[in-house]
Amino acid sequence: MADSVSIQKLVTDLKLQVYAGEAHLKNKAVTVSDISRPGLELTGYFNYYPYERVQLFGRTEVSFTQNMTPEERLMIMRRMASEDTPCFLVSRQLEPPMEMLKAAEEAGIPVLGSNLSTTRLSSLVTDYLEGKLAERRSMHGVLVDIYGLGVLITGDSGVGKSETALELVKRGHRLIADDRVDVYQQDEQTVVGEAPAILRHLLEIRGIGIIDVMNLFGAGAVRAETSISLIVHLQNWSQDKKYDRLGSDTEEQMIFDVPVPKITVPVKVGRNLAIIIEVAAMNFRAKSMGYDATKTFEANLGKLIEANSDEEE
């Protein structure tokens, strides 16, 4: 988990304009993902001023300042320009008040801008900061994008996760991370996985070594991150264990506070794991769209039993 995000990185990643304070971009940082739209502060109420947040000015805030005298604007802006205020951000390519620029320059605070609407810009910055500042955990496994679904392949070391991922890449799917997956919770229903910077685009195959998937298969064979929709756990085949044959058993694994569906696939010589996992992803998508082959089978079985009962009578 990152403790902060520099304003320089915020500007670069979100392609923001810099109206003033370019020299302070590397020195200032954001530590919280919440955004502040200073409505009450513009009226002079500072009892609960969230100074540590990005201060976002939209059309409402800018137009309100235009009804103030220059002296009032400068006084308010100086009070808002706290030592810990990361930056001022103006939406819709609105012209920031001169008093804002002056107060920001005095306090060493960058003034940024964007052509996006205020609501859109607020969502963009919030989502970005939540992703960067979210708590992260490392999970052992391989994360692959299969038909747009993030599938996390887990299992004991040596069970064949990386080899299976390589076969999936050859079949046109995309690698996100091999061996170690950094995950974070994006919202109440979504966890996102990505590769650590040192392992990005790399895949380890025993007997060959480390290969660069993007270099060998092209940019379309990799992806930076994806939400995790399904966990496929590879387990060495054992006659003593019972495996789900109908797909009626539902299993989930908690990642942070999000339950993620999980299936267990037994590994046995002769089984094509890549195709099995590919079909598992397709079947999962079909179920999410309302079609369940297990229910179809159970309905057909019920009709057969009923027909046989009628014949006996």
pLDDT tens for residues 132-189?
999 899 999 999 999 999 999 999 888 999 999 999 999 999 999 999 999 999 888 9
Of 133, 158, 176, which marks where a domain is finished? Answer: 133
The residue from 140, 241, 268, 271 that is catalytic is 140
Does the residue 303 lie in any domain? no
Q: pLDDT digits over 262-288, tens only?
A: 999 998 877 899 999 999 999 999 888
159 labeled binding residue: yes
| Residues of the chain where predicted confidence (pLDDT) is lower than 70 | 1-2, 243-249, 297-298, 310-313
4 labeled binding residue: no
Does the residue 311 lie in any domain? no
Question: Looking at residue 234, which CATH number applies to its domain?
Answer: 3.40.50.300
Beta 209-212 vs 88-90: how paired, if at all? unpaired
Q: Can you give the pLDDT at residue 27? A: 93
Q: Can you give the pLDDT at residue 308? A: 77
Question: Looking at residue 9, which CATH number applies to its domain?
Answer: 3.40.1390.20
Q: Which residues contact 42 (CB under 8 A, 6 or more apart)?
A: 61, 64, 65, 68, 76
Q: Can you give the pLDDT at residue 274? A: 94
Q: What is the dihedral of CA 191, 274, 215, 147, to 10 degrees?
A: -50
160 labeled binding residue: yes
90 and 181 part of one domain = no
205 and 173 part of one domain = yes
Q: Is 245 an active-site residue?
A: yes
114 and 154 part of one domain = no
Q: Is 201 an active-site residue?
A: no
289 and 148 part of one domain = yes
Q: Is 161 an active-site residue?
A: yes
Q: Can you give the pLDDT at residue 209? A: 94
Does the residue 251 lie in any domain? yes
302 labeled binding residue: no
Q: Can you give the pLDDT at residue 67? A: 94
183 and 104 part of one domain = no
Does the residue 310 lie in any domain? no
Does the residue 266 lie in any domain? yes
Mean pLDDT for all residues in the chain? 91
Which residue segment(s) compose the domain that 142 sits in? 136-296
116 and 65 part of one domain = yes
The closest alpha carbon to 29, from 9, 51, 15, 45, belongs to 9
Q: Buried b / exposed e across 26-64, counting CB within 10 Å, b at 16+?
A: eebbbeebebbbbeebbeeeeeebebebbbbbbeebbee
Q: Is 140 an active-site residue?
A: yes
Of 78, 106, 133, which marks where a domain is finished? Answer: 133
123 and 254 part of one domain = no
Q: Can you give the pLDDT at residue 288? A: 85
The reported pTM is 0.78
Does the residue 313 lie in any domain? no
The residue from 53, 161, 173, 223 that is catalytic is 161
126 and 146 part of one domain = no
Of 109, 133, 157, which marks where a domain is finished? Answer: 133
**Can you tell me the distance from the alpha carbon of 238 to that of 50, in angstroms, rounded to the nearest whole number?**
58
What element of type H or E holds 35?
strand 35-36
127 labeled binding residue: no
141 and 261 part of one domain = yes
158 and 269 part of one domain = yes
The residue from 24, 73, 145, 179 that is catalytic is 179
146 and 198 part of one domain = yes
Does the residue 42 lie in any domain? yes
Does the residue 305 lie in any domain? no
The closest alpha carbon to 96, from 82, 83, 84, 80, belongs to 80
Domain count, the chain: 2
144 and 219 part of one domain = yes
204 labeled binding residue: yes
